[in-house]
Amino acid sequence: MRKKLVAGNWKMYGNLVENEQLLSAVIAGLNGLRDAQVAVCVPYPYLPSVQNKLQHTHISWGAQNVSQYEKGAYTGEISASMLNDFGCHYVIVGHSERRTLFGEDNRTVAEKYLAVQRAGITPILCVGETLAQREAGTTEQIIEEQLAAVIDLAGIETLSKAVIAYEPVWAIGTGKTASPQQAQDVHAFIRKKVAVQDIDIAKELTILYGGSVKAGNASELFAMSDIDGGLIGGASLVANDFITICRAVHN
Ligand code: 13P
């Protein structure tokens, strides 16, 4: 059975006090959901306090970015092994905000993915097309290129210890969600592309949908056969909404 996961991506929000309140509410709200796979990916400086708060719960934690380098004179960068020191289970790589706002190309994303793998952490690899690309009919080509860069560098077998998140750029933070069928079509395409190289890995691969997932639309998205959960931005900052979304994946 494929692992289902709901991961919150806090982006650059929060502070010590707010994080504490949010996590207390989420822990309480998810109590009893023992086999739920739930994670939060938080800003770097909060990793120690989040680790401390979550370490005896069923909620995992992780980071939103990482350096592709192991160590060295890279001012301001954070390596995967440093993230290991704080017990990170997941690292998001290739989020579209990193790709568009910080110039990360497919090659850099693949290097970051590999760095995370080598540290024994599970990468959450984001792929997705812009509105212009969708309208030009190149969605599948874009996704295929994003995937191929990673598979070529790291090897297909690494996908057995990775999560993919399909996040159409036009749906992120816009309130516009891909319809369940639109999302399902791309998820099925991703699984098919992986299956060509390794059918067993494809069957077990957790593929999340991200982009304006809310308490009100999570169930219909998660009901689709190739959607194994969500990567949640804005709604992961609102305890009750995040709890509802986490429960939706396990219904
Ligand atoms: P929103 O849920 O705010 O649209 O963000 C999605 C996202 O970027 C998750 O990584």
Q: What is the pLDDT of residues 110-158, one digit of tens each?
A: 999 999 999 999 999 999 999 999 999 999 999 999 999 999 999 999 9
Pocket of ligand 1 contains residue 231 by CB under 6 Å: yes
Pocket of ligand 1 contains residue 234 by CB under 6 Å: yes
Give catalytic status of residue 157 as yes or no.
no
Pocket of ligand 1 contains residue 94 by CB under 6 Å: no
CA of 209 relative to ligand 1 center, distance in Å: 9
Q: What is the pLDDT of residue 147?
A: 98
Pocket of ligand 1 contains residue 233 by CB under 6 Å: yes
Q: What is the pLDDT of residue 196?
A: 97
Angle at the Cα of 134 from the Cα atoms of 12 and 40, rounded to 5 degrees: 25
Contact 168, 134 (CB under 8 A): yes
173 compared with 107, residue with greater pLDDT: 107
Question: What's the rounded mean pLDDT across residues 219-247?
Answer: 97
Give catalytic status of residue 250 as yes or no.
no
Q: What is the pLDDT of residue 194?
A: 98
The active-site residue, picked from 95, 111, 129, 187, is 95
- Integer Cα distance of 109 and 185 in angstroms: 24
CA of 5 relative to ligand 1 center, distance in Å: 15
Q: What is the pLDDT of residue 83?
A: 98
Tabulate helix, strand, coil % of the chain (nearest 5): 50, 15, 35
Q: What is the pLDDT of residue 112?
A: 98
- Name residue 91's beta-bridge partners: 63, 123
Residue whose token pair is 């996704």? 143
Pocket of ligand 1 contains residue 96 by CB under 6 Å: no
- Integer Cα distance of 27 and 50 in angstroms: 12
Q: Ligand 1: which of 6, 9, 164 to mutate, judged by most atoms within 8 Å of the beta carbon?
A: 9
Which ligand 1 atom lies nearest to the CA of residue 92?
A: 10
Q: What is the pLDDT of residue 35?
A: 62
Burial of 137 (0-12, 13-18, 19+ CB in 10 A): exposed
Pocket of ligand 1 contains residue 64 by CB under 6 Å: no
pLDDT digits (tens, 9 = 90+) for 174-214: 888 889 999 999 999 999 999 999 999 999 999 999 999 99
Contact 65, 98 (CB under 8 A): yes
111's CB contacts (< 8 A; 6+ apart) are: 68, 153
State CA 123 to chain mean position distance.
Answer: 8
pLDDT digits (tens, 9 = 90+) for 31-83: 877 666 999 999 999 999 999 999 999 999 999 999 999 999 999 999 999 99
Contact 246, 38 (CB under 8 A): yes
Q: Which residue's CA is the closest to the ligand 1 atom numbered 9?
A: 233
Q: What is the pLDDT of residue 174?
A: 86
- Integer Cα distance of 212 and 217 in angstroms: 9
